[in-house]
Amino acid sequence: MKFNVNLKAGISIEIVFEGENKDNRVLTYAKDKDLFSGKLGEVYSYLPFDGDKQIFVGLGKKEELKEDEVREVFFKLVKVLLTNKEYEAQVEVPSIEHVDKNTFVKALVEGSLHATYRFDKYKTDKKELPEITINILTNKDISEDIKEAEAVIEGIFFARDLVNERAEYLYPETLADIAKSELSPLGVEVDVYDEKQCEELGLKGLLAVGRASERKPRFIVMKYLNNKNDNEVIGLVGKGVTYDTGGYSIKPTANSMDIMHCDMGGAGTVLGTMKLIATRKIKKNVIAVVGACENMVSGNSYKPGDIIPTLSGKTVEVLNTDAEGRITLADSVYYVTNELKVNKVIDLATLTGACLVALGEVYTGAVTNNQEFYNELSQAAKSAGERVWQMPADDSFRKLNKSSVADIKNTGGRLGGTITAGLFIEYFVANNVPWIHLDIAGTAYLSKPEKYLPKGATGIHVKTLYNLLNK
């Protein structure tokens, strides 16, 4: 898809707000016939009228328009263009008091590009998507806004492709190879530790979870240090379980296992974010860590009832081998906060079914030890159109993780499962570093499309993290 500035060509897209009157015969006709009123998301095509082709797009009440609604409307518009085989269009950016034109343009570009995503690499009869050109008419300089929006979508699509990829082709070693090949040329220092090196580092939790698989764990450390004048380093940690059977606590049905290639959704978001911030060359210092492994079943599997050590020296009583992600995160979070000494850390993980029960596929669940830090992330998420809901977290929940035979157990039971899982990870945050846990079990991989997000991988929170890091 191409975007041009102030080039008048192609079918005319007319933006209409609800209740707005315009001197346009087609619009008057459509309103009189109750075909179009300007309500949010309405699209009315009139092809042609007196030789002119026009598409009317409703943005609802002008004073209530939100940035994310612009994304959704232009996503729908591009679908209409494709249906009508119209591959070039022009649109004038409207004047809106509370949404500046640069913000509008970025949302327009993002929404339009969302409509082009496909994961069809394994289809033999796939058809190339026709190239669409949108010419944007405005009196402001928007070239940089277009470039930024294109980079954001590239990072999101990169994350989606990783999470949609099947475990036959994406496993710890190949994930590490992709991190090197994609990020190193952008100036990100990527270090990959194999199984023997993980043993030397003391990553005993990660190794325990991954030891049953023939495809051995990899520990991936990505460093983007682009501000020598700033001592602050932000840590990102992504759950990287590239396939999850549940181990000996095996998942109950094949239907719950066939999408478990998506259990590295946190890693996908982290890699997508690193690609985006490096492409945009933002002036920040960020270190990202992914402990990649497969949770398989064999005679060498870790078992319910086992007590396993971790990098921190703390021990974990394993009650459920399908609560494996938090064990790998225990090592990863401790490593980035204690060994690499980041100042703040965010972990992202497809962690609990309990989050799906609580928040569906709509909201990401969040647990934090620092309200100020969370408030910053919450604002970044709101601007991104990515919904996050903070969970309560106090000692009433922490005590559910207490073990009688080890330092902590890896499940606090069914009640409050999203919270206790997050607080398990908190137990391994070193030096009281400000920390946020994002449970993306419901939002990273959808069972059906939602707004401009497709079925399958969403690339959730690449934009949130970019907004947070780029302020």
Stretch 106-131: mean pLDDT: 95
At 22 the pLDDT is: 82
Give the whole-angstrom CA distance, residue 47 versus residue 264: 46
Q: What letter does residue 79 receive in the DSSP assignment? A: H
Residue 124 banded pLDDT, cuts 50, 70, 90? very high
The answer to whether the beta carbons of residues 294 and 246 sit under 8 Å apart is: no
Token pair in block for residue 230? 């700033």
Residue type, 66: K
Stretch 39-52: mean pLDDT: 76
Residue 48 banded pLDDT, cuts 50, 70, 90? low
SS3 45: strand
Give the whole-angstrom CA distance, residue 369 versus residue 367: 7
Catalytic residue IDs: 251, 326
The answer to whether the beta carbons of residues 238 and 288 sit under 8 Å apart is: yes
Task: Report the predicted TM-score, pTM, of the whole model to 2 decimal places.
Answer: 0.97
Q: What percent of the chain has pLDDT over 70?
A: 98
At 101 the pLDDT is: 96
The answer to whether the beta carbons of residues 337 and 430 sit under 8 Å apart is: yes
* Phi-psi label, residue 330: left if phi above 0, alpha if psi -120 to 50, beta otherwise: alpha
In this model, does residue 468 exceed pLDDT 80?
Answer: yes
Closest by CA to 114, choosing from 436, 360, 411, 385, is 385
At 244 the pLDDT is: 98
The answer to whether the beta carbons of residues 292 and 176 sit under 8 Å apart is: yes
